[in-house]
Amino acid sequence: MSSWPRYALSIAALLLAACSDSNDSFVETEPLVPLSTAVSLDSGPVEGQDSTRALAWEYLGIPFAAPPVGELRWRAPQPPEPWTETRSATELADFCLQVPYFESAFDGSEDCLYLNVFRPQSQERDLPVFVWIHGGGNNNGDTGQLTPAYDGARLAERGNMVVVTVQYRLSTLGWLYHPSLAGDGAADASGNYGTLDLISALEWIQRNATSFGADAGNVTIVGESAGAANVLSLVIGEQASGLFHKGIIQSLGGSVTPRSAALNAANTLVADLTAFAGLPDMQMSDEETAEFLRSFDAETILTLASTPEIIGDGAVIPEAGYDLIDSGNFPNKVPLLLGTNKDEYKLYTSPLGFNEYPDGTPELREAVGTYLSQAWRVTGADELATRLRNNDDMPGVYVYRFNWGSPDENGDSPLPGAFAETGGAFHSGEISFMMGNEDTFIFAAFTPLVFTEDNAASRATMADIMVNYWSSFARTGDPNGSSLPVWEPWTNATGAAKAVTLDVNFTDDSPRVEPDTTVLTEAEVYAGANANLDGEILEETLRRLDGWFGN
């Protein structure tokens, strides 16, 4: 007999059996297609390009749904028409129809359901997916055409992620609740067409993520302002279940409108359009009303009405809206990162911003800007985090205060001139840094005025802080993992960890990340205004606070 030990003969027999043609368990796997600018999608092949901003590939203007025009206006998004020839994905598509900021005429297109993908130039796979949902009150916004700071190439490279930026229908084209538009099912009837666009984009990501070397089981949705409200609406929406695994909510703005209020707004639009057409007493069936609404050009509709609030329709968005957070009865309990900017509202009161008080005194602008910024922190961060953490089964909630640009305790700010005081850490000011685009101001035309050589080092530090924390969170659900200070999750225990402030030291441009254990409340905001203001300034500030808090 052979001198081999018996166990060696047994192992050899097993190996021969495993390699046998008769072994049905042996499956030959096809080699992975190398990652490149060429990608095969479920709807057809596309060819992207090298980014000029980073060591990344970009695939621009990919349709994730059919154009929502004609009979598809105010319908749930439909699949795009497939193609067989390689489609060029090297230019951004038209943004959704709107009147852009600081302009007076409509621009964009109804045919706007496109997204963009950015990934590092590497062969690394199973990368996390970071989905950017732009803000703009659900009336405005784009994926880089108007706002170059939204370009995702640098974030993809620096964060080692697959970054997706997505467009969705805006204003009355995106949110309109009327029985005549009920169509074939609950989705068509919901009125939440912009929300459905985002769900459709997330479904597209599930089908196509692996083609870009991404992990469809590790998707983070990220939004700012109205985009943050869209993220929160997906957190409470059953139809988005399983399509994402973490969420980032920056400067939450917006609410959920009851069906009754949404229907009143839609009926007003129909009445205005019949009057506009010279037929104020026209009676129509639901079918005739739908045809009538779709007969108008989009610009006329948007001129007569703006109904951009998310609708609690009971199908796509629960009727209870964000109140579900208090009951704990919402489906997508995922790790969340959220926060606000110290001077959120000063963008609106500043004469260098939207200048809500063109004839107001500097003192009035400062008062309204200061106390509405505090109110924004209450509703967009502290109150929201407290409500979320009241649920025992809620995963980690991480809260930030973005302070870059706001004068520090010595009155120093990296921002030039008067904008340090009148703008500071203003609404949307964090986005350039979060995207790794610290060379591009959020309002691109003002870049050379605000982003100067003197604050270049400070900007680079701020971008490193945000890209590191944000990408770590997207990867694991925990922002920690780099050499930055530990960021503890929010807890509701008195004096325990709450938030971190994100800033840069003025003297040496080093990171300034510090814990904050305070919780700001509505009552404290009112108390501060009453203690520090008087006369007409106090009266106007209290009026604005009442509007903000719904009092």
Residue 165 pLDDT exceeds 80: yes
- pLDDT of 308: 73
Residue 125 pLDDT exceeds 50: yes
**Domain extent at residue 242:** 41-334
| C-beta of residue 465 within 8 angstroms of C-beta of residue 404 | no
Residue 267 pLDDT exceeds 80: yes
Model pLDDT for residues 387-441, shown as the tens digit of each residue: 999 999 999 999 999 999 999 999 999 999 888 999 999 999 999 999 999 999 9
Residue 282 banded pLDDT, cuts 50, 70, 90: confident
Q: Are residues 310 and 418 in the same domain?
A: no
Q: Are residues 388 and 329 in the same domain?
A: no
| C-beta of residue 246 within 8 angstroms of C-beta of residue 474 | yes
For tokens 């929406």, the residue is 237
Residue 6 pLDDT exceeds 60: no
Strand pairing partners for 400?
339, 500
Q: Are residues 54 and 104 in the same domain?
A: yes
- When mean pLDDT is compared across 364-368, 418-422, 520-524, the lowest value belongs to 418-422
Instruction: Report the number of distinct structural domains present in the chain.
Output: 2
The answer to the question of residue 236 being in a domain is yes
Q: Are residues 326 and 345 in the same domain?
A: no
Helix (H) or strand (E) holding 368: helix 362-377
Q: Are residues 374 and 447 in the same domain?
A: yes
Between 210 and 185, the more confident residue is: 210
Q: What are phi and psi of 476, to 5 degrees?
A: -130, -10
Residue 5 banded pLDDT, cuts 50, 70, 90: very low
Q: Are residues 320 and 430 in the same domain?
A: no
- pLDDT of 172: 96
Q: Are residues 306 and 347 in the same domain?
A: no
- pLDDT of 66: 98
- When mean pLDDT is compared across 2-11, 176-185, 236-245, 435-444, the lowest value belongs to 2-11
- pLDDT of 104: 85
- pLDDT of 27: 55
The answer to the question of residue 13 being in a domain is no
Residue 28 banded pLDDT, cuts 50, 70, 90: low
- Tokens for 34, please give them: 């190398």
Residue 12 pLDDT exceeds 50: no
Model pLDDT for residues 300-311, shown as the tens digit of each residue: 999 998 767 899
Q: Is 447 exposed, middle or buried (0-12, 13-18, 19+ CB in 10 A)?
A: middle
The answer to the question of residue 188 being in a domain is yes
Q: Are residues 243 and 160 in the same domain?
A: yes
**Mean pLDDT (whole number) for 102-125:** 96
Helix (H) or strand (E) holding 401: strand 397-402
The answer to the question of residue 253 being in a domain is yes
Q: Are residues 177 and 264 in the same domain?
A: yes
Cα–Cα distance for residue pair 166/164, rounded to 1 Å: 6
Q: Are residues 313 and 379 in the same domain?
A: no
Q: Which domain-ending residue is among 334, 362, 388? A: 334
- CATH number of domain containing 84: 3.40.50.1820
pTM recorded for the entire structure: 0.94
| C-beta of residue 158 within 8 angstroms of C-beta of residue 178 | no
- pLDDT of 410: 96
| C-beta of residue 190 within 8 angstroms of C-beta of residue 196 | yes
**Mean of the per-residue pLDDT values for the chain?**
93
**Mean pLDDT (whole number) for 33-38:** 95
Residue 9 pLDDT exceeds 50: no
Q: Are residues 326 and 366 in the same domain?
A: no
- pLDDT of 29: 64
Residue 19 pLDDT exceeds 50: no
Q: Are residues 298 and 418 in the same domain?
A: no
The answer to the question of residue 467 being in a domain is no
